[in-house]
Amino acid sequence: MGIRHRRPLQETNVTNSKKTVILAQVFISLMMAFLMSGIMSMIALGPTHLWLRVWPQQFLLAWPIAFCLSLVVSRLAFALSVRLTRG
């Protein structure tokens, strides 16, 4: 029983899969909407009971918006990254 070597992601072409990209955008937008809605609402309201009631509502509003925007912004971000890293 030897050590199994995993192929790098580039070789398996997983990172280029449309399904993987969409799923990554779901997770990224979820995490960013959760964190940003929590931070921004706490800045506005302070760490109060009202903040704890408002945060979930703000998150549920922010997540679909963040996901839709990520579909557009990710293409631009990748294009800029490729352009800047070309030697």
Asked if 53 contacts 78 with a C-beta cutoff of 8 angstroms, the reply is: no
> Would residue 44 count as lying in a domain?
yes
> Would residue 4 count as lying in a domain?
no
Closest CA to 33 of 1, 57, 66: 66
CA–CA gap between residue 12 and residue 77 (Å, rounded): 23
Kindly report the pTM of this predicted structure.
Answer: 0.71
CA–CA gap between residue 56 and residue 42 (Å, rounded): 12
Asked if 20 contacts 42 with a C-beta cutoff of 8 angstroms, the reply is: no
pLDDT digit string (tens) for the chain, length 87 residues: 566 656 555 545 566 688 998 899 999 999 999 999 999 999 999 999 999 999 999 999 999 999 999 988 988 988 999 999 986
> Would residue 29 count as lying in a domain?
yes
Our count of domains for the chain comes to: 1
Amino acid at position 35, single letter: L
> Would residue 12 count as lying in a domain?
no
